[in-house]
């Protein structure tokens, strides 16, 4: 191969950071996060059974999907590993609400983020639209996990 050749690699891969990390089932507590049926969930109830005839104590998890609120359950031996999602909360300033249901947000470094849809939660949606119509300065909290993002809170930071 000569040095004059140009090589173009088109890659759709990310930096290699995993969307989840392993954690022992017995160490996951109420209020923690867990992946059930490939969905990031927040644990609302944990119960542990005693070791049985075949030797494993089992953890019974009841959890709510953090994006759509659906209730999911899972039973895992307490010594086994479970996937725990990396959950991030980021705050952005609202710039605009477009006609097609997307919001335009200002990031910390001054660029804009235009790929987020309006929230499906009615309480947050009305708070967002009313505050924007009144000309208030709104800060939106965006929760992201496993490649999904959603607006989860609206905060009024005062008039413009």
Q: What is the model's pLDDT at position 13?
A: 47
In a domain, 58, yes or no: yes
Res 61 pLDDT > 90: yes
Strand locations in the chain (E):
20-24, 33-36, 39-48, 58-65, 71-77, 81-85, 88-97, 102-106, 112-117, 136-145, 148-159
Tell me which residue range forms the domain holding 139.
86-154
Report the predicted TM-score, pTM, of the whole model to 2 decimal places: 0.76
Q: Within this chain, do residues 73 and 33 fall inside the same structural domain, yes or no?
A: yes
If asked whether residues 113 and 149 sit together in one domain, one would say yes
Claim to verify: residue 73 and residue 95 sit in the same structural domain = no
HEC string of 62-93?
Answer: EEEECCCCCEEEEEEECCCEEEEECCEEEEEE
Tell me, yes or no, whether 6 lies in a domain: no
Q: Which of 60, 83, 106 is the last residue of a domain?
A: 83
Q: Residue 114's pLDDT is what?
A: 87
Are residues 51 and 64 located together in one domain of the fold? Answer: yes
CA of residue 25 relative to chain centroid, distance: 20
Residues 98-147 pLDDT 10s: 888 888 888 888 888 888 888 888 888 888 888 888 888 889 899 999 98
pLDDT in tens, 33-58: 999 999 999 999 999 988 877 778 89
CA distance 67 to 41: 8
Query: Is residue 50, in this structure, part of any structural domain at all?
Result: yes
Q: Which pLDDT belongs to residue 53?
A: 73
Residue 72 and residue 37 in contact, taking contact as beta carbons nearer than 8 Å:
yes
């Amino acid at each position: 191969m000569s040095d004059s050749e140009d090589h173009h690699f088109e890659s759709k891969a990310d930096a290699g950071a995993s969307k989840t990390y392993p954690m022992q089932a017995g160490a996951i507590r109420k209020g923690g996060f867990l992946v059930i049926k490939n969905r990031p969930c927040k644990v609302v109830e944990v119960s542990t059974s005693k070791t049985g005839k075949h030797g494993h104590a089992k953890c019974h998890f009841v959890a709510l999907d953090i994006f759509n609120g659906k209730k999911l359950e899972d039973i895992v031996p307490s010594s086994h590993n479970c996937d725990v999602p990396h959950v991030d909360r980021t705050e952005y300033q609202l710039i605009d609400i477009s006609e097609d249901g997307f919001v335009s947000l200002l990031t910390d470094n001054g660029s804009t983020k235009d790929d987020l849809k309006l929230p499906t939660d009615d309480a947050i949606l009305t708070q967002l639209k009313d505050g924007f119509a009144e000309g208030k300065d709104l800060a939106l909290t965006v929760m992201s996990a496993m490649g999904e993002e959603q607006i989860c809170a609206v905060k009024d930071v005062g008039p413009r």
